[in-house]
Structure 1
Amino acid sequence: MSFNQFRLSSEILKGLKDTKIDHPTPLQKKIFKAVQEKKDLVINSTAEEKPEIGYLLSLLNDLSRSQRKQGTRAIILTSDPERVTALDEWIWAIGYHSDTGSAKFTEEGSLKQQLNELSAGPVIIVATPGRLAELLENGKMIFREVQQMIVDRAELIDNWKQVEVISNRILGTCQRIFIAAKDSKVLRDAEKLLLKEPELVTTRKKDAVPEPETKQDTSPVLKEITQYYINVPPRAKITTLMNHLENHSSDSVVIFTASRKTADRLYKVLRKADKRAVSVHKGLEEKIFDERFERFTSGDVQNLIAGELSAGELPLEFASQVVNYDIPEEVEEYRLRADLIGSGKAARIVSLVSRQDQKDMSTISSSLGHAPEEIPLPKAVKKKITPVESEKKSPKEPKAKSAGKQKTGGKPRNKSSRKSSKPANSDTKLRQLPRPTFDQLEGGRSGKKEKKGIFGFIKGFFGGNREE
């Protein structure tokens, strides 16, 4: 997923390109969305995960579209002088094309010179809490336009009174954000003192951040969950999905698709089959998104279709089953989907693997060190497979040819039959599966529709609707 969906200005996009940041991680996307709600936040993240891409992009984007480049709008506090420098340089690089910068303040600089710089009203302040608190006390300054106060690496702050001094000099509405790699009693006391009903932002089940041995934390979760895949014949994803859901009619199911268009179309398919479902994607207004999501979490509907969304963006506690209608291209996204359904219950992941998905599924299996177990096609789908021999002997074929207005209508079918003169094996049978009739929707990432017009009419007349 690219940054285009964040609706960033061209200047900010150029800055991201300059710094070779191609796309946000699931955590950064979740942070970006949470920051836009203007609530106080506690973000569970390490510095290596670059949470600033999530919490600062929204502010930098607003500043890039503003004509006014003076007046402090954000304060970033961190106890590590090297981290101060790193954040200051990152802001300069991202905001370069929009002429948006920051000023840094640490104990290493001249107090008098820094006081003059602070009086000039830098748009973004990056500082150690001790030095900024000292400057504010000496200059008797207050802030009236600060929109964000961010405490980076909050677990390393050793003097929260300095942070409190700075916070008290911010007048008006201000969003306060703590970023911490791990929890502690001291940190929780600071949250109670400075934050108002903060929300936790994380892609992990636990507050504690894993040590560098990340694989040791994620692999057991994956192994505890039963993982399956279904080898889907060409043009049969819809049929396979519907029959799979029918065989597990009591489950609550989250269905992931690669596009919002496919999500909406799948919703129509399920509703046509009298199955209770809702679809969600980034294109929805926040109110509508929340209403639909609440219908699923409350049990009002059994199926949630998520289009072009990461599992990390769904605050879901449990689902009986996750179905990958489209296989994720990134291994990390597969891990997030596995983590989504939790453990300790009869939960499972089922991936619908078509030919175009096989490469992605192979990459995921190689990364995880084990492959999901294959389960057979639903019986109802198998019954729709037409052997080549039966097509040759079909008494309806000559009749269908005589009814057509164009002589070329029957040629491709006869030619195809001659090519299939070899003994029919299971793979040949799968290739003969008719198209599903659900809204003329094919499986896979494209979601293309069947061609219409005179060709579509002739094709439908000669057996295109055999599933009916």
Structure 2
Amino acid sequence: MTETRMQPNGNPFAGLGLSDPLLRAIREVGFEEPMPVQAEAIPIMLAGRDLIAQAHTGTGKTAAFALPILQRLEPDGTAPQALVLTPTRELAVQVAQTFHRLGKYLDTRVLAVYGGQPIERQLRALRHPVDVVVGTPGRVMDHLRRETLRLDQVRVVILDEADEMLNMGFIEDVEWILERTPRERQTGLFSATIPDRVAELARRYLRDPVRIAIEPERVTAPRTTQVFYEVAPRAKVEALARILDLETPASAIVFCRTKSGVDELAHALQALGYAAEAIHGDMSQVQRDRVMARFRSGQAELLIATDLAARGLDIPIVSHVINYDIPSDPESYVHRIGRTGRAGAPGVAITLVTPRERWMLRTIERAIGQRLQQRTTPTRQQIVQRQRELLGASLIEMIERNDLDWAMRLVDELAAYHDPAVIAAAAVKLLAQQRNLDPERAESLFEEETDQPEPGMTRLILNLGRRDGIRPMDVVGAIANEARIPGKRIGQIEIGERQTTVEIPEELTERVARALSRTRLRGKPVRVETTRTRPAVR
């Protein structure tokens, strides 16, 4: 195995041998100079060599393999010429979007295939010629078994975030896929770390690869309390509301990934009674100025924003920064949480992480050199207790000031008509309303469960999860084979550390539950529970 380590040379992209259509797209995307991993990897891949690149997320590695793949695509192909495997659907979508942007002037046909998206949509797309397929191992295997995806003309295979695919139990799946690609292919392996199992994979499937290692720039996080909550995607709004009620931030910025996400979250929080304002690039300057005026004056306690909208804003010190959507790279994370904990003031940075986003969290932790503290979503009882504590502390502080003469005179007057305890209770309730602290509201706010299955679907909870080696394909296979149900009727699957949830049509609940209870997954018996359902809209 050949190893090279070159220093970043700062050459512009034109010096890397890329075509004019690619250079034009690169200028429009905004790249000015190649990043180190791009400067090293692009010439190697353009030469047709296999490559092992040790590089973290956020170092520009996607463009490092996308650009040479785009350069070498044969025009008017009838089957996929390149396959990119990623550990998660979120990364698959990001990689596919990069191919679309950089291949804009080459009319490149790119398709992302991943679980959680209706397979019928992917089947329709695969009936037409596709140049590049980006997918998760499970869904790629599904298409190969259905014979809806051909790999016989694939000339380049990229394994992106190989160590994360190992951590998520996908290495055997990756090997199964590689065995079905042409032997005379070019293979690129990109990974933040090279554990033994990944190194073994490289020895088996790569031919005399060049190895490069890019040292990530150390990013430092400010001195602030950093925590994360792992939540299901459909429970994020509820989880955020509970966290807000527990933390009671004086002012906070909540970051979302997209402009539409900002609007949706702001409306959801406003409907729950929070003083939230949205700000993003589609708003006029007048609208943005009004929002910022309300936020600075305290009329709005929560500013819901995209990264782009928050840059350059004169935002005062905030007590909390909340990553409603986890950022895709460590630099963005540090930039966001730098909004709190300024000038020596204490700050809190909170990140909501879905199970599929744990790999992004680990990337951030490696880059900043510290682990985030994990907390569990607050219960209603915890919220009620916390708000009572805050009210009690406010009252004790007022009592210790010993400045109650006029208030005592008023109590004396009212005591002629009402019990002093009732007067005190009324005063406490007024204080709670003025400070937006209402234990009664906290106790009733989440009576309606928001994390429910889709209409007409039932959610089954299985007692096995990631720690048991469970993968989506295991669940689909067990249901399809044991209950005799087509895979396309199976809904959303979420695999947690200790349990798995799967949605199925309501009318098949008993049939699937019985079938699963009689089978074993990864050699372990299955216990099944059923959650509440909503009736289908008719």
* Bucket of the pairwise TM-score, normalised by the shorter protein: 0.3 to 0.5
With CA pairs under 8 Å and 6+ residues apart, which has the higher RCO, 1 or 2?
Answer: 1
Greater Rg by CA? 1
